[in-house]
Structure 1
Amino acid sequence: MANTKKHKADFENHQFKSDWTDCFCFILPDHAKAKPTCLICMQTVVVCKTDNLKRHFNTMHAASFNANYPPESDQRKQKIANMITSFKHSVSTISKSTSAQESATAASLQISWYLAKANKPFADAELMKSCAVAMVSEVLRHDEKQKKTVVELLQQVPLSANTATRRVEKAEAISLAIDSSCDRTDREQLSVFARFFDGKTFREELLCLLPLTGRTTGEVIFTVLTQFFVKNGLDVVVEQHKGLVSRLSAINPALLAFHCIIHKSVLCAKLCGKMQETMDTVTRLVNFVHENSSLQHRLFRAMLDEISAEHKDLLLHNDVRWLSKGRVLERVCDLRDELASFLSTLQSQRAQEFKIFLIDNDMMGYVFFLCDIMSHLNCLNLQLQGKNHTVVDMYKAVEAFRSKVKLLEKDIQGRKLHFPRLREHCEKNNMGEDQVMQDFVSSLAKNFYECFECTPKLSSDILLFLRQPFSVSADGQWTAEAKKVWPSIDEAALQMEVLEMGTSDVLKAQHRDVGVKDFWINMVPQARFKNTRGIAMLLLTMFPSTYICESSFSSMNSIKNQDRNRLSNAHLDQCLRIATTEYSNVMCLWKAVWTFFRCTLLNNIITVQ
């Protein structure tokens, strides 16, 4: 058969007919790319065709409208004429309001530009408005109507000193969270989020989603980021360094980089030896029940439903999902007896091997232990997950967990109060202490101590200052460490400000009543405490984890799903930006993020997986 192009309605160039207004109560607005609009419900029809308009009218309005306004009657013509007048008036009002607002904002931006170019104070913006109003009043003094209109428009231009300042101010620090993952078509996508202070609150927004081809080494990622910076007007210098962080640090020596806190906590709890062998066996058992055959899986679920079991199915393990291990182990522990009973009905050798595993008290002791310890780790993980967390919040959670692990280390050798499943299993089967379990908890405590104790450029004293600024001494070593974090800071002035802050009863009272972010944003005066507030805002800008990147990958896979796997990279970037943004207008989002990002790279923080 010969290839033929698909029929597209857009190519037919349908023209709107005037008699459609009388017949179907539709009108074609007078602007570019207008669509036929129903005068009754204001809905639009995509394709300008008689059948489409007729179908809408007959389905939605014909019965009631024709009964009240019969066809060809004078009442009908008058009603349609009134609706047309009302529609045009509404469109005109909205258009004028939008145009006036946009013009006022544009004028404000223009004035701010001229003030900045002429090195004039921003307080002069109001003076310029007063001069403009006075000039108009004199020039149009013989035309009162026109003078009143122009003066009202000038009064709408936002030109306060604070507004003019915000037009040109820049973010003092930018934090980047960088992570990568494959989409539905196995293309690696590099997700880059920016965190910055916009003058009112901290924003976390998608900066870019960059496709990676081939290998995903630090050199490749750095090259892709460099190309993106250059393309968008940000000059960068490439030097001979290996790895993403070292290359970025070569460009910006003040760069502060550290590993995602969530990933560090997961690495601290990495299984090995007997524990890894036990987890692998549980995973194979679950996969055997799920995937050996569809019939076998259905029979297992039918059995659980028939005996009214606590759960209706097993959960599959996925290394990418942080809570997966604990939940899989919990489900296997809860359904231990049901699994053993079901496996005994199967004839395969693998089924019998898994049954022996389930009835072996020693092996199940390890399963119950892993289930208990993973429940503690999952509680920590849930505390660390979520958007808009500060580095203080997450380090407090980790610090608390380090204390808990020390308690667990003692408890596993004693009454096992914090290992309820293991304690019940040991009491039931008269089992004693196990050295493998004790060694695992000791190793866990050691890993958390070493991983989170030595944090480059981010000591516990600096974090304490951010959380409790009145409990640190001005002449302590932490001010020298703060100088390393932010080289441009005035250390001498910082010490004086800390002393002054410590004597302020007002700030102490406000600190007790509000959170850490609200205190530094709204309570600490910028002019009076420039250095202390600056170091605090730098720390609050930090991405403590790449959680926002991980959650964006879930959105990415929902957008670029199996039915939309041909979605272009550019469209995927745009769709993901809209899906993840906190702004209500995507143009405002892009302008805000990129304006703040390109203004400065003096004090940046990068968080990588």
Structure 2
Amino acid sequence: MFTRPAKQSKAATIASFKISHILAKHKKPFEDGSVVKEAFIEAGETLFGDFKNKIEIMSAIRELQLSHPTVTRRIEVMSQDIADKLKHDIMECTYFSLQFDESTDMTDTAQLLCITTDGAPAMTGNKNGFVELCRANEEFPSFFSFHCIINQQVLCSKVLNTEEIMGIATKIVNSISARSLKRRLIQLQLEDRESAEHTDLVLHTDVRWLSCGKFLQRFQELLLEITAFLDKRGDDTQILKNEKWLTDLAFLTDITMHLNIVNLELQGKGKTIIEMISAVNAFKSKLQLMIDQLKRKDLKHFPSLKARIPQFNYDTYEDELSNILGQFEMRFYDCSKLENIASFMSYSFSCKNIEELATEIASHIENRWRVVEEAHEKLTDNKTKTRKGRKYYEGMDEIFKGDRDIVPEAL
């Protein structure tokens, strides 16, 4: 008796899920479900006008539940179902297969030289991380592991003590930009200047790598106008006139802009590992140079700091630069293994230990060639001195499986 209404209700629910899935797949607003239903009804009146069961068809269409909250719930249910199935499948898996870009040697045998990770614990954990598990497996070829070079550079900059400066500067800028009247007033004030290069403030967000440097640079450039604007409104500007705070702001502005420059050098398509290592090493040398210059009170690389009243003690800033340099040395330690090769390939005539480097490379090639000759002898018919067809190549591949962990010591 109640079988048919129950089937119709189930069919309407399934149809509601399918339409919600289409809306989500095409990234349409959830409230468009009501529009779809309205269009469905209007079309149905015309399409099914001559059908004997038109009333039943239109009734089924009107029972479709496609309101905004309903579509939202449908999509949430489907999303949770996908997540639950994925978790279940992962828990049931014993092994996972990974796909790597393949690099082959002179015998067309695949070699694995480097694995680049995103720094997540699952990848870089000391015991159960992917990299350590690969290293612990004797059958796994030797390799170098690298964390994303650009991300590493950003992490190095995190050691800067920016909390006090950024906290106050961000609070001031947000207090102005959050209120439309204040923002319009300061924009008018900035536009009335003789050199109106900038007519608005810049907001800061942690998720953007270059945001800190750009934010501080704009704040430093408009500092006088911001102070005058706040004074006119009767706000407390004592901190903006404190020489120590202003000097710290100037130093932080300069060093974050240097960090932004090296970050931009590391970005872009087609960058090779050699170019990126060169950029990192150049910046490390630049950091050491800036430390030495600060000791001599030379502010050539700190234009904002140079514009302030000269300070007789820059020990704090030297420590900050030393901390950044230490982070670069620690985080890019693996890159040092490639420095000799990278230096030789980039500037062949600048290599001081060319004989030693050539010996290392030649030794590696000789070792590899010896393995090739031994494998060739084993798989060649001694009587006819001919290769044994397909077995020869299969045998060569089998032998090289145990030889894929040979990586040049020069690296």
Instruction: Give the structure-1-normalised TM-score.
Output: 0.39
Residue identity in the other structure for 2:324 = L
Q: In the TM superposition, what is the alpha-carbon distance from 1:450 to its structure 2 partner? A: 3.7
Q: 1:254 to 1:316 in 2, by over 3 A?
A: same
Per-residue Cα deviation, 1:60-87 (whole angstroms, up to 9, x for no partner)? xxxxxxxxxxxxxxxxxxxxxxxxxxxx
Contact 1:392 1:467 in 2 (8 A): yes
Query: What's 1:288 paired with?
Result: 175
Report the secondary structure of 2:198's partner residue: coil
Contact 2:150 2:263 in 1 (8 A): yes
Report the secondary structure of 1:257's partner residue: strand
Q: 1:424 to 1:5 in 2, by over 3 A?
A: closer
1: distance between equivalents of 2:301 and 2:362?
Answer: 39
Q: 1:365 to 1:377 in 2, by over 3 A?
A: same
Q: In the TM superposition, what is the alpha-carbon distance from 1:283 to its structure 2 partner? A: 2.0
Query: What's 2:340 paired with?
Result: 461
Q: In the TM superposition, what is the alpha-carbon distance from 1:313 to its structure 2 partner? A: 1.0
Contact 1:408 1:418 in 2 (8 A): yes
Per-residue Cα deviation, 1:490-540 (whole angstroms, up to 9, x for no partner)? 63649xxxxxxxxxxxxxxxxxxxxxxxxxxxxxxxxxxxxxxxxxxxxxx
Report the secondary structure of 2:309's partner residue: helix
2: distance between equivalents of 1:437 and 1:477?
Answer: 42
1:266 aligns with 2:154: yes
Q: In the TM superposition, what is the alpha-carbon distance from 1:250 to its structure 2 partner? A: 5.7
2: distance between equivalents of 1:491 and 1:12?
Answer: 82
Query: What's 1:416 paired with?
Result: 299
Residue identity in the other structure for 1:438 = E
Contact 1:461 1:478 in 2 (8 A): no
- Of 240-249 and 321-330, deviating more is 240-249
1:310 aligns with 2:197: yes
Contact 1:426 1:432 in 2 (8 A): no
1: distance between equivalents of 2:190 and 2:336?
Answer: 54
The within-5 A match list for 1:333-482 is: 333-347=220-234, 351-352=235-236, 355-413=237-295, 414-427=297-310, 431-452=311-332, 454-455=333-334, 458-468=337-347, 471=351, 473=354, 476=357, 479=360
Where in structure 2 are there 5+ consecutive unaligned residues?
Answer: 1-11, 13-33, 48-107, 371-403, 406-411
Per-residue Cα deviation, 1:128-149 (whole angstroms, up to 9, x for no partner)? xxxxxxxxxxxxxxxxxxxxxx
RMSD: 4.1
1: distance between equivalents of 2:211 and 2:363?
Answer: 39
Residue identity in the other structure for 1:287 = N
1: distance between equivalents of 2:329 and 2:135?
Answer: 27
Q: In the TM superposition, what is the alpha-carbon distance from 1:5 to its structure 2 partner? A: 5.8
2: distance between equivalents of 1:5 and 1:343?
Answer: 55
Q: In the TM superposition, what is the alpha-carbon distance from 1:311 to its structure 2 partner? A: 1.0
Per-residue Cα deviation, 1:171-206 (whole angstroms, up to 9, x for no partner)? 7569776659xxxxxxxxxxxxxxxxxxxxxxxxxx
1:491 aligns with 2:367: yes
Aligned-pair identity in percent equals 30
Report the secondary structure of 1:425's partner residue: coil
Q: In the TM superposition, what is the alpha-carbon distance from 1:469 to its structure 2 partner? A: 6.1
1:299 aligns with 2:185: yes
Q: 1:457 to 1:375 in 2, by over 3 A?
A: closer
Contact 2:220 2:250 in 1 (8 A): yes
Query: What's 2:6 paired with?
Result: none
The within-5 A match list for 1:6-405 is: 6-7=39-40, 179=118, 218=122, 242-247=128-133, 249=135, 252-273=140-161, 275-291=162-178, 293-307=179-193, 309-347=196-234, 351-352=235-236, 355-405=237-287
2: distance between equivalents of 1:9 and 1:254?
Answer: 67
Report the secondary structure of 1:258's partner residue: strand
1: distance between equivalents of 2:112 and 2:285?
Answer: 33
Contact 1:326 1:371 in 2 (8 A): yes
1: distance between equivalents of 2:239 and 2:214?
Answer: 19
Report the secondary structure of 1:7's partner residue: helix
Q: 1:286 to 1:247 in 2, by over 3 A?
A: farther
Contact 1:412 1:419 in 2 (8 A): no
Q: 1:450 to 1:172 in 2, by over 3 A?
A: closer
2: distance between equivalents of 1:393 and 1:297?
Answer: 43
Residue identity in the other structure for 2:238 = I
Question: Which has the bigger relative contact order, CA under 8 A and spacing at least 6?
Answer: 1
2: distance between equivalents of 1:264 and 1:363?
Answer: 29
Contact 2:247 2:308 in 1 (8 A): yes
Report the secondary structure of 2:213's partner residue: helix
1: distance between equivalents of 2:307 and 2:159?
Answer: 23
Query: What's 2:83 paired with?
Result: none
Per-residue Cα deviation, 1:199-242 (whole angstroms, up to 9, x for no partner)? xxxxxxxxxxxxxxxxx8628x99xxxxxxxxxxxxxxxxx962
Q: How many residues align?
A: 272
2: distance between equivalents of 1:176 and 1:13?
Answer: 62
1: distance between equivalents of 2:154 and 2:271?
Answer: 18
Query: What's 2:9 paired with?
Result: none
2: distance between equivalents of 1:481 and 1:297?
Answer: 67
Q: 1:315 to 1:177 in 2, by over 3 A?
A: farther
Q: 1:420 to 1:7 in 2, by over 3 A?
A: same
Per-residue Cα deviation, 1:347-391 (whole angstroms, up to 9, x for no partner)? 4xxx41xx2121112210111111112222222111111122111
Residue identity in the other structure for 2:300 = L
Report the secondary structure of 1:6's partner residue: helix
Report the secondary structure of 2:145's partner residue: strand
Contact 2:288 2:325 in 1 (8 A): yes
Q: In the TM superposition, what is the alpha-carbon distance from 1:476 to its structure 2 partner? A: 4.6
Q: In the TM superposition, what is the alpha-carbon distance from 1:439 to its structure 2 partner? A: 1.7
Where in structure 1 are there 5+ consecutive unaligned residues?
Answer: 15-168, 181-215, 223-239, 484-488, 495-601, 604-609
1: distance between equivalents of 2:260 and 2:321?
Answer: 15
Contact 2:176 2:182 in 1 (8 A): yes
2: distance between equivalents of 1:478 and 1:297?
Answer: 67
Contact 2:116 2:147 in 1 (8 A): no
Contact 1:278 1:366 in 2 (8 A): yes
